[in-house]
Structure 1
């Protein structure tokens, strides 16, 4: 008699495309419909754009490059964290434009041997990220499935503007303007160090918190729309404070000075973890990415928005930088 797999052992090859789609629909249940929406089931989705314009962005994550199912430390991802992070990073881009997310569409490529349970958890991670990160109005509008040698996934999000979009390039001269930041910084870098440790070890509370920050980042989605009309330019921090502050400054023909006292205060939160992993917490704060905070340019005559910190200013003077300032895909 041929052996049969248990539900926990079943693979997507056994389930087939129709079965996978039904599995994902179940994971997304309650997130595929809204007034005026035509969601999964047709060749394409229809999403309302009440203001006549919408914001759109795409992100991709590939196994072995952006995520692992099993980390050297022994930490495993059921698929939930991959789905959560995929949604979080894309929704953060919407917030950075001063927009409110309206829909996401997900593509998933994977081997036939991928466990069915991984796909189910992946779908739930996307749905729960929308719920718990503050984007409950988001519709999961559909996507695409295909076979590949390793898991690769991408997400496209749309969002509605609350007013004019906030761009990286300001409409005025912003020399001397403040750089302000909201969200976590250095937490994901600390979590990456924990996940990448070459052997399992007992984790303390601070390490578990950092690990969660790395695997399931929490971008401040509500903050972007709140500062529309107040800040002069803005972007999300995907690759690091140094890398992205320099990008924001360069878009305005300037350089970014980062306050060393701010860096030290933030780094102090990770002193215990950094000591245990023989790392430099200042390095995590300045060059660590994947926290998905927001970085904005503010006229120094204006009040600092609640929940934001001044981290430096824009200047005409070049700034000293380490050889590696943050994540680079290539």
Structure 2
């Protein structure tokens, strides 16, 4: 691997920034395509971007036919998520906001780490698949890899090993991660092991913020954004799943899942898994929407709809016995009931 690429990767991961020479070298990647690099060159580039997260005790990482990741407890959790250009992400948004690949990598990692979190597990590895046109800038690939690596570090999953993956050619960029995780105790499932009628529905996360950011990316003007718009935009492009919470409440809550498609959609899924319905407290919706409404007013929108039907926040929903104390950092947002609840025609994100 070229020495300058290793140095560039080290400096990029730090908060001190890049030197002028390193910036010049990174700039050169913008004029180089992955077709010009070839598979070996792309792998070198990704290895540099993943630096520091490809090895560990007992790990056989990238470079062999398959990776080996220890599972100390004898059981592990596994999940896969995919993101496709034009459907899940854009390189340039209608607002003029451009993603150099970093946010795509970050979000891909975040949504997989969130799935592990919802099971009460700690992520052990991610394996990355990347399909792209030969005209894709090499710099996009480097930033994409850094987004994955830095999401693992800064979201609190620095123990994660980037174990390898797959490269192939495609007409548009398509990527996927398969993640594994180690259980802290028993897995926390959507279906509870007890009758949970009347139990609290509790939540931790940033309900509505990601959808607010999506509206900004789609309808805003990139050089005229206010502070609250930038905050929402950051949480849309680079979600912050609360990774410390899943393992912390495992064994306390009766059931749990992450919020990927919306509060309404995912609360209904959690309730349905227990043959019940989800009542969402209107007072909680009003409180949560209140701080988003000034931003929503600029886009002629209703912030309460962002809270209820907006997806990709990657918070957590759980079922809590009313006799138990509410865990720190969580809110009671409703309860499970046997009574059907009124719902809008569209309750959240649907891939199809």
TM-score after normalising by structure 1: 0.98
Match of residue 87 from structure 1: 109
Match of residue 259 from structure 2: 237
Match of residue 58 from structure 1: 80
2:226 corresponds, among 198, 204, 213, to 204
Q: Over aligned residues, Cα RMSD in angstroms?
A: 0.9
1:220 corresponds, among 216, 236, 242, to 242
Whole-angstrom distance in 2 between the partners of 1:269 and 1:57: 34
Whole-angstrom distance in 1 between the partners of 2:178 and 2:221: 36
Do structure 1's residue 313 and structure 2's residue 335 form an aligned pair?
yes
In structure 1, stretches of 5+ residues that fail to align are none
Match of residue 140 from structure 1: 162
SS in 1 for 2:90: coil
Note the alpha carbon deviations across 1:10-29, whole angstroms, 9 max, x for none: 10000000000000000001
Q: Give the C-alpha shift of residue 71 in structure 1.
A: 0.1
1:28-107 to structure 2, matched below 5 A, reads 28-107=50-129
Whole-angstrom distance in 2 between the partners of 1:304 and 1:37: 38
Match of residue 3 from structure 2: none
Whole-angstrom distance in 1 between the partners of 2:38 and 2:161: 25
Note the alpha carbon deviations across 1:222-269, whole angstroms, 9 max, x for none: 100000110000000000000000000000000000000000011011
Match of residue 175 from structure 1: 197
SS in 2 for 1:59: strand
| Contact 2:29/2:137 (8 A) holds in 1 | no
SS in 1 for 2:127: strand
Q: Give the C-alpha shift of residue 9 in structure 1.
A: 1.1
Q: Give the C-alpha shift of residue 76 in structure 1.
A: 0.4
Match of residue 10 from structure 1: 32
Whole-angstrom distance in 2 between the partners of 1:211 and 1:296: 26
Q: Alpha carbons of 1:22 and 1:201: their partners in 2 closer, same or farther (altered >3 Å)?
A: closer
Whole-angstrom distance in 1 between the partners of 2:236 and 2:29: 29
Q: Give the C-alpha shift of residue 8 in structure 1.
A: 2.3
Whole-angstrom distance in 1 between the partners of 2:75 and 2:146: 29
Deviates further, 22-31 or 190-199:
190-199
Whole-angstrom distance in 1 between the partners of 2:205 and 2:263: 12
SS in 2 for 1:61: strand
Whole-angstrom distance in 2 between the partners of 1:110 and 1:254: 43
Match of residue 246 from structure 1: 268
SS in 1 for 2:202: strand
Whole-angstrom distance in 1 between the partners of 2:233 and 2:277: 32
Whole-angstrom distance in 2 between the partners of 1:62 and 1:215: 14
Match of residue 42 from structure 2: 20
Whole-angstrom distance in 1 between the partners of 2:327 and 2:289: 23
SS in 1 for 2:29: coil
Do structure 1's residue 284 and structure 2's residue 293 form an aligned pair?
no
2:147 corresponds, among 118, 125, 130, to 125
SS in 2 for 1:50: coil
Q: How many residues align?
A: 326
Q: Alpha carbons of 1:262 and 1:198: their partners in 2 closer, same or farther (altered >3 Å)?
A: closer
Whole-angstrom distance in 1 between the partners of 2:251 and 2:230: 38
Deviates further, 200-209 or 62-71:
200-209
Whole-angstrom distance in 1 between the partners of 2:203 and 2:153: 24
Q: Give the C-alpha shift of residue 196 in structure 1.
A: 0.2
- Larger helix proportion of the pair: 2
Match of residue 279 from structure 2: 257
Match of residue 325 from structure 2: 303
Match of residue 346 from structure 2: 324
